[in-house]
Structure 1
Amino acid sequence: MTELFPPPSTSGKSLMERVEDALLPLINLVFLLLMFFIVAGQLADDPLPDLPATPASSEQQSPHADLMVDNKGNWRIHGENLDAQALLQRLPEPDAQTPLKIAAASSLTMADLESLLRTLENGGYKEILLLTEPEA
C-alpha cells in the first residue's frame, strides 16, 4: 500500500511545514467563500415582499381591477353583474400599452375563465393581466 505522505525523514520538510502546506488550500477556500457572500449578499433598502400565505397588512391596497369574476363565474364591474354584450360596452377600449386587469376568484373553474377569455378576445382584447389571491 502506498502512503499519502512520504515519511518525514525523506520529505525534507518538518511537521509544521507540512501542516502549513495542507492548511493553505483551506484558507484560500474560506477567503473565496467570504468574498462570495460579501458580493452576493448585499443589503437592500427595499423590504421583503409579503409572502402569499401571510395576511395582507391594513395599509396595503388591492390593485385596481377593470373586471371582477367571482367563484360562480359572474362578471362584475363596480359590483354590477353583466352579460357578454354589456361587459364589452362597459370595459375600457382595448389598448396594447395598458392591459385589461381581471381580478378572479381563486376557486374559479377553467371553463368559466375560458368563456370569459373568449368573449374578451372577440371584443378585441389582446393583453390581459389576471390577478388572483391564493386560498387561505
Structure 2
Amino acid sequence: MRRRRSTDREPTIPLINVVFLMLVFFMVAGSIAPPLDRALTLVRTDALEGRAPPDALVIRADGTLRYRGETVDSASAFAADLSGEARAQIRVVPDRDLPAETLVAVATELRAAGAEKVLVVTERGLE
C-alpha cells in the first residue's frame, strides 16, 4: 500500500481575490471625492481631528472665495444660500498664504450670517 504524499500549499487564489477587491474599492473611493483646487496650499497643523471637506468654502491666498469650483461673491451671500441644516456647520479651507485677519473676517461674516460653527480644515485634518 502506497501512501500519498500530501503537501500543504498556501491558498493563493483567495488572497488574489481579496487584493483585487481592495484595488477596485480604492479606485472607486478615490474617484468619488472631488479634487481640491490645484492653486491651493493647505495650512499645516500637527494635532487636529477632522473630515475631508466634500462641501467646503475655499479661500485662496488673495481672499477670493470659491465653492465647488465656482466663485462666491461674499461669505454672507454663501451662508444665505445654504439651508438651515447646512448653515449649522460650515467648513472653510484656507490657503496657507492667506492672511489671518482675512480668515477671521470671513469667519466673522459667516457667523453674522447665521453659521453656528465655522470649522477651519487644514492639511493634517485631511490626512
Normalising by the smaller structure, the TM-score range is 0.3 to 0.5
What TM-score results when the alignment is normalised by the length of structure 2? 0.48
Higher relative contact order (CA 8 A, sep 6+): 2
Specify the structure having the higher radius of gyration (Cα).
1
What TM-score results when the alignment is normalised by the length of structure 1? 0.45
